[in-house]
Structure 1
């Protein structure tokens, strides 16, 4: 029964470690709800192949698995190096264009760097300080050394960068993603809501209704997070870059705050980066990693994400199974949060969604059924983190896939109803066929009248299954 299923969703990054139909099917069977295509790596043909395998595996398993395209954004990296460069504390080295000792993939950023500012390489493992800018490069002093290899990430936490969140590469990749039919698009290095709105405009011009997820990985994004939440369907807490851009001890507090603010606006929230990183090499996680995943779930995140663990790790399927076990164990300890939190949308929609959860608490109900055309109704119900299962009914397969990322929501594709009686008939038939409810059970139905009119969530009904 669905009551025993986990509520927190699992996102898996697809890569060379699972580049095989059988391995993709194993991820789906293990519990993958969303497949992430990381366009920082691989070719368009690679991602098209991954997407096809995910769609086939989901269909074979009878599940709705969403595909999320993750755009690279203006990521600064070390350029291709002939040999690794070993840095020692105290030495000086040049950064910038191809003639520099350490060339960068975005050499123009050196024009925004001033003396005294830090340069962090490879997730902060290596630290440099800018001493002076000379022409098209900067001279830096090594504070914390080590080996530097090609295509290592470079962060400039003190520099006032003015890089667009959507690069020409991103726009080309976006066209490929839309052609593949991706369900969500994650935008990297967001500065403000304008970055999100531009992506939404690009998607609309391409004829896509994919949900936009804003990655929070810069300090500037934290200052604009409320506006970003208004513009996007959800956010991803990219803890790796956040922990480089600011002191890492601040990240857990920021994570909790961001999850709470996303809930208040009925927005999706994904917690990502280094969740089970030791499983890239080892078959079991550390106890600290288990606690990290558990605490993200207790914070109320919609989804937890695996990156290198599934894309390039030695134990991708076991990593998913581990997350699944943790999430199932934790769900029974979570308390309902029925505090009414209007998100600024139409008050009737908010009140109806809240009332459905309150009714489900006070009545002995099998589940809540949310009829939704866009997914918004299911999002509003999901934010209350109710212990009763939520079934999202939609005639749109794309919406059903997107519902897969929502906490506690089980998506269904159903025939389009035209009358209230048809709504009730669809509810009874689907719940009984799937054994999600039994004859005589009480269920809560949330819908809109007139049936089929977008944005008219105005009905909540306690309905007895005959």
Structure 2
């Protein structure tokens, strides 16, 4: 059986060529993430073109995930060699400047930082690796005492977990970037630092209006869980989103690091039960940025996410700027394969929760049949994606093939664990014949295979046919 858990890889300088992208796709990359915290529109347009060329060359579909920056606070431009700061020294940060000058303050991209922070609050840099405490604020200059030192380079992130940031989580830059993404037909959009459902609904309205004008398929929305407020309002935010990314880097700074593993497990399970895709992200194979082999702890991290039933695992710096982007994908795929082969990731019948609707009732029936070895594959017409979603809640050990009306919808399905897609017309009279022809051609089934087909009757009801 093909790998169920999907792989997202961030694309950057190390993986921007068609050659490397093709290797990554063949190694198992399903979704290419473009981080709009970096690069300009020209660079992103080139990356999108290269991704699509590589997808065609590899003969495998790849979705594009546009990750919007949000109100991410970053350092400005530092010298090429970077800046070292030591424990105990006082370091200065200044808003309103872009470049660092020797002996001066470190530039900060967020203009209101000096207004939003207070003395005594913590200021972290580089995903929490460097910790400082604010000692004074004079005008636009923030002074802070270094508690844990380290090396800084341009555009490293800044986190202020004790402060309330006054700017919206959907910035003007995000709006402009989103319109660019929609014009280039991205498949998914990730919203950063979401804290309320309102911002998700606002972005969805923008997407719908723009895509109606463009006559294109609207991308789906992933919310990134990165702040304490998002954790507290998780169910409300999940209710209006299409998917979730557990962004452990910023989340591990906003919260105590030891809280993150439990929150990850809880949120992955909630997403599974509600049928919404969830991504586990950040530092999954971090050491492979510089080394050709992952650490044992990293391998365990990926495997545990799979056993917890995440829909996708994600590579960040490993594939964007690392030395081994395609090897990182290969490693992640190998770990996923091994974890999925174990019975530890199976869901027992007693874990199934009956929500009382027809899709769930059919899904439960199919789950029992899969467990009893009575069917080898589930195929659904585009009319009944909701049923397929309900089936996928139980993570069956057989593939689920969805017929989709077009390539854009088919690519969106690439983020769902265990779901594979094909473009087929939604004609009840010919669906089974067309689907069976596809399944045999692509070697999904062989002689003797039993397939459960979900199709619509002339009256619009769900029909389950097994043959």
Q: TM exceeds 0.5?
A: yes
Cα distance in 2 for residues equivalent to 1:117 and 1:448: 59
Equivalent position of 1:106 in the other structure: 110
Cα distance in 2 for residues equivalent to 1:342 and 1:67: 34
Equivalent position of 2:315 in the other structure: 306
Unaligned ranges ≥5, structure 1: none
Equivalent position of 1:444 in the other structure: 452
Structure 2 residue 91 is the aligned partner of structure 1 residue 79: no
Cα distance in 1 for residues equivalent to 2:187 and 2:346: 31
Q: Against the structure 1 CA distance between its residues 103 and 384, is the aligned structure 2 distance closer, same or farther, given a 3 Å change threshold?
A: same
Equivalent position of 1:236 in the other structure: 245
Cα distance in 2 for residues equivalent to 1:20 and 1:148: 28
Instruction: Look up the SS of the partner of 1:27 in the other structure.
Output: helix
Q: Deviation digits for residues 299-341 of structure 1, max 9, x if unmatched?
A: 1110011111111111111111111111111111121344433
Matches within 5 A, 1:166-315: 166-207=170-211, 208-315=217-324
Instruction: Look up the SS of the partner of 1:393 in the other structure.
Output: strand
Instruction: Look up the SS of the partner of 2:420 in the other structure.
Output: strand
Aligned length: 452
Cα distance in 2 for residues equivalent to 1:341 and 1:202: 35
Contact 1:10-1:32 at 8 Å conserved across structures: yes
Equivalent position of 1:140 in the other structure: 144
Cα distance in 2 for residues equivalent to 1:263 and 1:54: 29
Contact 1:442-1:462 at 8 Å conserved across structures: no
Cα distance in 2 for residues equivalent to 1:93 and 1:51: 40
Cα RMSD for the two superposed structures = 2.1
Q: Against the structure 1 CA distance between its residues 265 and 104, is the aligned structure 2 distance closer, same or farther, given a 3 Å change threshold?
A: same
Decide which of 392, 408, 427 is 1:398's aligned counterpart. Answer: 408
Q: Tell me the CA shift for residue 43 of structure 1.
A: 1.6
Q: Against the structure 1 CA distance between its residues 42 and 400, is the aligned structure 2 distance closer, same or farther, given a 3 Å change threshold?
A: same
Q: Deviation digits for residues 259-305 of structure 1, max 9, x if unmatched?
A: 01111211000011111111111111111111111111111110011
Q: Deviation digits for residues 218-256 of structure 1, max 9, x if unmatched?
A: 111001110111111110011111111112121111110
Q: Tell me the CA shift for residue 27 of structure 1.
A: 1.0
Equivalent position of 1:94 in the other structure: 92
Q: Against the structure 1 CA distance between its residues 377 and 302, is the aligned structure 2 distance closer, same or farther, given a 3 Å change threshold?
A: same
Contact 2:95-2:113 at 8 Å conserved across structures: no
Instruction: Look up the SS of the partner of 2:175 in the other structure.
Output: helix
Contact 1:294-1:327 at 8 Å conserved across structures: yes
Equivalent position of 2:464 in the other structure: 461
Unaligned ranges ≥5, structure 2: 98-103, 212-216
Q: Against the structure 1 CA distance between its residues 324 and 149, is the aligned structure 2 distance closer, same or farther, given a 3 Å change threshold?
A: closer
Instruction: Look up the SS of the partner of 1:365 in the other structure.
Output: coil
Q: Tell me the CA shift for residue 143 of structure 1.
A: 2.2
Cα distance in 2 for residues equivalent to 1:415 and 1:65: 21
Equivalent position of 2:365 in the other structure: 355
Structure 2 residue 17 is the aligned partner of structure 1 residue 20: yes
Cα distance in 2 for residues equivalent to 1:47 and 1:379: 32
Instruction: Look up the SS of the partner of 1:404 in the other structure.
Output: helix
Structure 1 stretch 111-120 or stretch 94-103: which is displaced more? 94-103
Q: Tell me the CA shift for residue 440 of structure 1.
A: 4.0
